[in-house]
């Protein structure tokens, strides 16, 4: 079985937003299948030459990422001169085109992406990759030295392959569970797989094609009409620019990414909520309230704001309601072990939308406003630059085409991430002004 490609599309290095992409060579109607990839043409741990061994030893290859079997398959196939997958893998010569922030220097990441959440995510990734390689992969390779060689299959190559999977792999969605099955028993996500041809398509939030999974094949389907000459875009999901840069090494130009977001760390809300407290009793009350809020939130929680309002409205609503309680209200709340009846989710969502935010209680608006202000400071623009002024430097760069053209690709992408997030926070401050 071979991949079937319609004559109305072609892969091109010209006329696309990246190094290459897919173009429509004729008008394409909604619903048309652009290409079909049979299951045997997918590269994963079940279609590699070492699949039997990986299946036999799978219990020793478990890790938090769930990627080790595919990574071992790629390590083997990428360095084997006899690999059936050599024509596909040879498209990525030493993976030099990968430019994820994990390949930037730490100084460059911390300087260009401070406050965006990317440096922290990359530091976590690199620590996890090294731990996984040392604790799981290396002992397995030593045990099977006839197939893998630590001198060839190094941590450096392993890290590049992790980025390769991040940028180019696909994960098949889980099948819908029956209602009568235990909802608490969540299945682990399907492992990633490499999908030749589908990985040629670039992403935009306003995409015009989508990958569909069937028992025998994967199909790229047109989801809205594509005029002749336009690029065919897939979607990688609802991804903010910081996520696109972190996972794929690119960004959408501002303001085209409708899925862009800015995170407000919950710790910033705590800092604002405890500022200016005079009495020990008031401080004790606030500490007890915050302790209860933390029990309701995940570790290192953040409140996520998109272009239309808060995306974690239930969590923010809970935090504000508890933090703004009087001592009597909080005492009653503890005695009742929470609220007697659930809040209306739809009303909460509306209250924390851009339309609803200006109508919130003054005490709630103040906390949101000051927390957004504090978060803007984290981008490293200087303590004195608050609110409107915190965005001015990046806005000037965005509007100066000559200055923008003079930036490196990394500087431009970092600017897109920073500016998009700052504008969301700035808008939030405007909506919550007293």
- Is residue 288 located within the same domain as residue 159? no
| CATH number of domain containing 297 | 3.90.1420.10
> What pLDDT, on a 0 to 100 scale, did the predictor assign at position 385?
47
In a domain, 257, yes or no: no
Distance CA 136, CA 138 (A): 6
| CATH number of domain containing 217 | 3.90.1410.10
170 DSSP β-pair partners = 193
Q: How many helices (H) and strands (E) does the chain have?
A: 17, 13
Q: How many CB atoms lie within 10 A of CB 137?
A: 22
- Is residue 335 located within the same domain as residue 200? no
C-alpha radius of gyration, the chain, whole number: 25
Q: Rounded to the nearest 5°, which phi and psi values hold at 289?
A: -65, -45
Rounded to two decimals, the pTM is 0.93
In a domain, 331, yes or no: yes
In a domain, 182, yes or no: no
Distance CA 266, CA 269 (A): 5
Q: What is the pLDDT along the chain (434 residues), one digit of tens a residue?
A: 688 999 999 999 999 999 999 999 999 999 999 999 999 999 999 999 999 999 999 999 999 999 999 999 999 999 999 999 999 999 988 898 899 999 999 999 999 999 999 999 999 999 999 999 999 999 999 999 999 999 999 999 999 999 999 999 999 998 876 555 554 566 788 999 999 999 999 999 999 999 999 999 999 999 999 999 999 999 999 999 999 999 999 999 999 999 999 999 999 999 999 998 999 999 999 999 999 999 999 988 999 999 999 999 999 999 999 999 999 999 998 888 776 666 788 999 999 999 999 999 999 999 999 999 999 999 976 444 454 566 888 999 999 999 999 999 999 999 999 999 999 999 999 999 98
- Is residue 300 located within the same domain as residue 410? yes
Q: Rounded to the nearest 5°, which phi and psi values hold at 33?
A: -85, 120
Q: Are 308 and 354 in contact (CB under 8 A)?
A: yes
In a domain, 183, yes or no: no
Of all residues in the chain, what percent are helix, strand and coil, respectively (each to 5)? 45, 10, 40
- Is residue 415 located within the same domain as residue 281? yes
> What pLDDT, on a 0 to 100 scale, did the predictor assign at position 174?
87
Q: Are 273 and 290 in contact (CB under 8 A)?
A: yes
Collapse the DSSP code of 211 into the 3-class scheme (helix H, G, I; strand E, B; otherwise coil) and give the result.
strand
In a domain, 29, yes or no: yes
Q: How many CB atoms lie within 10 A of CB 1?
A: 11
> What pLDDT, on a 0 to 100 scale, did the predictor assign at position 344?
84
> Measuring CA to CA, how many Å separate 411 from each of 75, 134, 163, 352, 368?
32, 33, 20, 33, 30
- Is residue 221 located within the same domain as residue 295? no
Q: Are 244 and 18 in contact (CB under 8 A)?
A: no
- Is residue 33 located within the same domain as residue 59? no
> Measuring CA to CA, how many Å separate 304 from each of 261, 288, 353, 357, 386?
7, 24, 12, 14, 20
Determine how β-strand 33-38 pairs with β-strand 261-265.
Answer: unpaired
- Is residue 277 located within the same domain as residue 403? yes
- Is residue 32 located within the same domain as residue 78? no
- Cis omega before residue 122 (within 30°)? no
Distance CA 142, CA 144 (A): 5
**Domain containing 333: what range?**
262-432
Q: Rounded to the nearest 5°, which phi and psi values hold at 374?
A: -65, -40
- Is residue 135 located within the same domain as residue 274? no
> What pLDDT, on a 0 to 100 scale, did the predictor assign at position 11?
96
Distance CA 146, CA 233 (A): 42
In a domain, 181, yes or no: no
User: Domain count of the chain?
Assistant: 3
Distance CA 72, CA 81 (A): 16
- Is residue 164 located within the same domain as residue 38? no
Collapse the DSSP code of 392 into the 3-class scheme (helix H, G, I; strand E, B; otherwise coil) and give the result.
helix
- Is residue 292 located within the same domain as residue 428? yes
Final residue belonging to a domain, choices 138, 156, 171: 171
> What pLDDT, on a 0 to 100 scale, did the predictor assign at position 384?
40
Distance CA 253, CA 420 (A): 9
Give ∠ CA 155-103-400 in degrees, rounded to 5.
Answer: 175
- Is residue 75 located within the same domain as residue 164? yes
Question: If we measure between CA atoms, which residue out of 329, 238, 330 comes closest to residue 290?
Answer: 330
In a domain, 15, yes or no: yes
Burial of 152 (0-12, 13-18, 19+ CB in 10 A): exposed
In a domain, 97, yes or no: yes
> What pLDDT, on a 0 to 100 scale, did the predictor assign at position 336?
84
């Amino acid at each position: 079985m071979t991949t079937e490609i319609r004559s109305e599309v072609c892969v091109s290095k010209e006329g696309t937003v990246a190094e290459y992409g897919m173009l429509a060579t004729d008008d394409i109607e909604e619903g048309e299948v652009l290409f079909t990839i049979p299951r045997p043409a997918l590269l994963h741990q079940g279609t590699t030459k070492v699949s039997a061994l990986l299946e036999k030893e799978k219990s020793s290859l478990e890790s938090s990422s769930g990627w080790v079997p595919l990574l071992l398959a790629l390590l083997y196939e990428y360095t084997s001169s006899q690999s059936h997958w050599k024509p596909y893998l040879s498209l990525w010569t030493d993976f030099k085109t990968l430019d994820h922030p994990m390949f930037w220097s730490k100084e460059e990441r911390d300087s260009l992406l401070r406050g965006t959440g990317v440096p922290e995510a990359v530091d976590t990734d690199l620590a996890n990759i090294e731990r996984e390689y040392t604790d799981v992969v290396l002992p397995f390779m030593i045990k099977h030295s006839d197939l893998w060689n630590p001198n060839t299959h190094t941590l450096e190559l392993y890290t590049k392959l992790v980025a390769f999977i991040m940028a180019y792999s696909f994960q098949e969605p889980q099948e819908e569970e029956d209602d009568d099955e235990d909802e608490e028993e969540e299945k682990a996500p399907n492992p990633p797989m490499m999908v030749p041809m589908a990985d040629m398509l670039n992403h935009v939030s306003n995409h015009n094609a989508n990958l569909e999974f069937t028992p025998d094949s994967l199909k790229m389907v047109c989801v809205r009409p594509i005029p002749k000459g336009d690029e065919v875009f897939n979607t990688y999901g609802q991804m903010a620019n910081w996520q696109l840069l972190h996972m794929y090494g690119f960004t959408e130009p501002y303001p085209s990414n409708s899925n862009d977001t800015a995170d407000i760390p919950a710790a910033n809300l705590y800092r604002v909520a405890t500022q200016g407290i005079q009495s020990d009793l008031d401080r004790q009350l606030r500490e007890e309230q915050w302790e209860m809020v933390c029990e309701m939130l995940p570790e290192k929680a953040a409140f996520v704001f998109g272009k239309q309002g808060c995306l974690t409205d239930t969590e923010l609503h809970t935090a504000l309601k508890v933090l703004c309680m009087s001592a009597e209200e909080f005492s009653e709340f503890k005695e009742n072990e929470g609220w007697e009846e659930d809040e209306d989710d739809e009303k909460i969502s509306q209250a924390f939308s851009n339309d609803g935010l200006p109508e919130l209680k003054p005490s709630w608006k103040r906390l949101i406003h000051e927390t957004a202000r504090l978060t803007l400071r984290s981008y490293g623009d200087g303590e004195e630059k608050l609110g409107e002024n915190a965005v001015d430097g990046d806005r000037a760069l965005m509007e100066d085409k000559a200055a923008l053209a003079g930036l490196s690709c990394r500087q431009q992408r970092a600017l897109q991430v920073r500016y998009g997030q700052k504008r969301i926070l700035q808008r939030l401050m405007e909506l919550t002004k007293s």
